Amino acid sequence: MRSVHCVLIVSALLTGLLAAPASAAPATNYVALGDSFSSGNGAGAYSGGDCHRSANAYPVLHAAQAGATSFTHAACSGAVTEDVLADQVTELSPGTTLVTLTIGGNDVGFSKAMTICSIPVKRVLCKQAVADGLAELPALSGKLDDAYAAIRQAAPAARLVVLGYPHLFELGTCLHKLTEVLVEDRKVINDATDQLDRLIADRAQAAGARFVDVRDTFAGHGACGDSPWINEVNLAAVFESYHPNAAGHRGGYLAALTAAIG
């Protein structure tokens, strides 16, 4: 009888263990902040008015892939660090668990430089425009520190992931000759991107954030390449020029983010 009693107890324990529900996965409350490289400017299927938030943008794709419990797409085309502080950090809360961010390019005037470098009568000023932007890097350092600190304060439990910028160009022949950026200027622009990314990585790491370098995932896919993930000048929608297309967000940004954090 004792052996039967033991068997019944063990059987009941096993039944209870097998019937016990698996522990629920922790909630992912995700907020995407930043500029046009996070809003999805260039990738089509827009909402958000002038913010050009795309359904094809990497934050939207990551939220779906990760099965996020909640997702807020606060990134906006043209944003600078001040906009993140004034308009975007307010979307965060103590319950936010993941924040992604691209910011800094507009603070150093890359949009202005790209416009100058693409207009034939202004190309002689391209290198100087890029140099003028790089002169703003020391000021950007403190602005990044302020932005990261504000994010930490608003969402103290969140994982902060800062993504960099890709090289915009390959050195092959562009499709649009009229607006083709000279090869020597493309090299200068790509070199400037390296300097910008180094600063962003340094300040992100100082803030305890994870920096995700996307240059390797975009390698070979810049504008004027055989398989571009960066748009050349689009005269029908100029705002899309020199921004990642849908393939760039999926194959470049999303792939790099997934490799970094899963």
Catalytic residues: 36, 243
Separation of alpha carbons 166 and 217, rounded Å = 8
CB of 230 within 8 A of CB of 245? Answer: yes
Largest CA distance in the chain: 99
Separation of alpha carbons 213 and 218, rounded Å = 10
Separation of alpha carbons 156 and 178, rounded Å = 49
User: Other CB atoms closer than 10 Å to residue 153's CB: what's the count?
Assistant: 10
DSSP the chain: -HHHHHHHHHHHHHHHHHHSPPPPPPP-EEEEEESHHHHTTTSS-EESGGG-EETTSHHHHHHHHHT-SEEEE---TT--HHHIIIIIGGG--TT--EEEEE-STTTTTHHHHHHHHHSGGGGGGHHHHHHHHHTTHHHHHHHHHHHHHHHHHH-TTPEEEEE-----B-SS--S-STTPPPHHHHHHHHHHHHHHHHHHHHHHHHTTPEEE--HHHHTT-SBTSSS-SB----TTSGGGTTSB-HHHIIIIIIHHHHHHH-
